[in-house]
């Protein structure tokens, strides 16, 4: 069993590590805000701005950690993660107390969101969990796409549910101004991503379409993948998933602290609970209830630590989230969070 975390100093010494230089424009802050709002259950999808992510002046560039040729279409592998201070299945092990890093839409600062190139980058960085989204094609294939429409991220227009997998495969992924060769990237299927991720990184599947969520749960059961993937679902989606696959690994998402008890009322219990990193959730009562169910608290840093890092170059905000009781922090800047934890040089 890993020793419990007691302080930020126990996570990663911050002495002799200068604060990152602040950005000089607000463009990336605005992009980050629209991405965060696009992930809210009640907010619209992110606007058409390429592929999301981005890197302000002053922050370490993705290329300073990974050359694009290590993970883009020219890369040949092998795609292996660096050593971790915990087992890969820590996310599902209540006894494992290591702080875990989740990369939103795989690793958007490095490659087109939800692409296999982004997944390769996340693996090479040593990210613990990659977040992605599941939807269904016209011919019933589970694919990884955040928006209901393909317009923002693919070279096409229309709803993903109106295209066959073959038709989607003819659309290239938009890469905006990211350096690297992403000409081979197409909308990935669940199967393609799971094959690449196996043994290297855990996959979080946010359910954007209930039927896709059910098929994804059936896939995880058929491939004995409960120790390397899970589904994020709202109540109606979780009910449908568990009706089809009663033991499917799920992460529930209460909208308020008063809904946490209901979010834990599954048998078996969820392995994680997605809360907001606000005072109303980060109370001893809420965190104790989650722990008593054998689950871990998970939250996003989009509207706090990510923005602090972008705006001022300070990394303490990430460590404070773990100090307040979170087990998993999801970020738009996985390389920056890994740096804060002392897991990148």
Which residues, 6 or more positions from 282, have their beta carbon under 8 angstroms from its beta carbon? 275, 324, 325, 326
Q: What is the pTM of this model?
A: 0.87
What's the rounded Cα separation, in Å, for the pair 125 and 328?
17
Instruction: Read off the pLDDT of each residue in 124-128 and give the average, rounded to a whole number.
Output: 98
pLDDT at 9 over 60: no
Instruction: Read off the pLDDT of each residue in 305-309 and give the average, rounded to a whole number.
Output: 95
Which residues, 6 or more positions from 210, have their beta carbon under 8 angstroms from its beta carbon? 236, 237, 240, 241
Q: Which two tokens stand for residue 241?
A: 């998933």
Q: Distance of alpha carbon 133 from its chain centroid, rounded?
A: 9
Q: Distance of alpha carbon 233 from its chain centroid, rounded?
A: 14
* Residue 177 pLDDT level (bands cut at 50, 70, 90): confident
Predicted pLDDT of residue 203: 99
pLDDT at 49 over 50: no
Cα dihedral 33→36→42→48 (10° resolution):
70
Of 237 and 176, the structure prediction assigns the larger pLDDT to 237
The H or E element containing residue 203 is strand 202-207
Check: CB of residue 290 under 8 Å from CB of residue 296.
yes
Check: CB of residue 249 under 8 Å from CB of residue 226.
yes
Check: CB of residue 188 under 8 Å from CB of residue 116.
yes
Mean pLDDT rounded to a whole number for the chain: 87
Instruction: Read off the pLDDT of each residue in 1-20 and give the average, rounded to a whole number.
Output: 35
β-bridge mates for residue 251, sequence order: 232, 272
β-bridge mates for residue 100, sequence order: 328
Give which of 41, 25, 22 is closest to 314, Cα–Cα.
22
What's the rounded Cα separation, in Å, for the pair 256 and 279?
11
Which residues, 6 or more positions from 274, have their beta carbon under 8 angstroms from its beta carbon? 232, 251, 252, 253, 254, 298, 299
pLDDT tens digits along 247-265: 999 999 999 999 999 999 9
Of 50 and 223, the structure prediction assigns the larger pLDDT to 223
pLDDT tens digits along 188-219: 999 999 999 999 999 999 999 999 999 999 99
pLDDT at 17 over 60: no
* Residue 345 pLDDT level (bands cut at 50, 70, 90): confident
Classify domain 21-340 at the CATH topology level. TIM Barrel (3.20.20)
Instruction: Read off the pLDDT of each residue in 179-195 and give the average, rounded to a whole number.
Output: 97
pLDDT tens digits along 65-107: 999 999 999 999 999 999 999 999 999 999 999 999 999 999 9
What's the rounded Cα separation, in Å, for the pair 120 and 337?
18
Q: Which two tokens stand for residue 337?
A: 């969070």
**Ramachandran class of 291: left when φ > 0, alpha when ψ lies in -120 to 50, beta otherwise:** alpha
pLDDT at 14 over 60: no
Check: CB of residue 110 under 8 Å from CB of residue 62.
yes
Give which of 11, 60, 12, 39 is closest to 313, Cα–Cα.
60
pLDDT at 51 over 60: no
Distances (CA, A) of 116 to 112, 145, 216: 9, 12, 18
pLDDT at 57 over 60: no
């Amino acid at each position: 069993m890993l020793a419990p975390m007691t302080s930020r100093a126990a996570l990663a010494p911050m002495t002799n590590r200068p604060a990152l230089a602040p950005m000089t424009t607000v463009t990336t802050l605005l992009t980050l805000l629209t991405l965060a709002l696009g992930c809210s259950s009640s907010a619209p999808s992110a606007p058409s701005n390429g592929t999301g992510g981005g890197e302000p002046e002053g922050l370490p560039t993705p290329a300073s950690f990974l050359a694009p040729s290590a993970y883009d279409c020219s890369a040949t592998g092998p795609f292996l993660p660096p050593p971790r201070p915990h087992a890969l299945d820590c996310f599902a092990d209540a006894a494992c107390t290591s702080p875990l890093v989740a990369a939103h839409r795989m690793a958007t600062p490095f490659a087109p969101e939800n692409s296999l190139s982004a997944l390769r980058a996340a693996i090479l960085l040593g990210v613990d969990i990659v977040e992605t989204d599941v939807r269904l094609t016209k011919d019933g294939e589970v694919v990884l796409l955040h928006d209901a429409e393909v317009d923002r991220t693919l070279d096409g227009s229309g709803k993903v549910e109106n295209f066959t997998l073959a038709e989607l495969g003819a659309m290239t992924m938009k890469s905006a101004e990211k350096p690297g060769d992403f000409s081979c990237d197409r909308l990935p299927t669940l199967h393609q991503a799971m094959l690449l991720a196996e043994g290297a990184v855990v996959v979080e599947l946010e359910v954007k379409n209930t039927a896709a969520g059910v098929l994804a749960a059936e896939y995880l059961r058929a491939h004995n993948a409960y120790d390397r993937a899970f589904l994020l679902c709202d109540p109606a989606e979780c009910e449908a998933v568990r009706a089809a696959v009663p033991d499917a690994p799920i992460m529930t998402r209460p909208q308020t602290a008063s809904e946490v008890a209901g979010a834990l009322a599954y048998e078996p219990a969820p392995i994680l609970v997605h809360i907001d990193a606000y005072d109303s959730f980060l109370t001893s009562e809420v965190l104790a209830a989650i722990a008593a169910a054998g689950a871990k608290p998970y939250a996003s840093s989009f509207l706090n630590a990510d923005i602090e890092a972008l705006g001022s170059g300070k990394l303490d905000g990430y460590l404070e989230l773990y100090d307040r009781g979170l087990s998993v922090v999801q970020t738009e800047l996985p390389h920056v969070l890994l740096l804060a934890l002392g897991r990148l040089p």
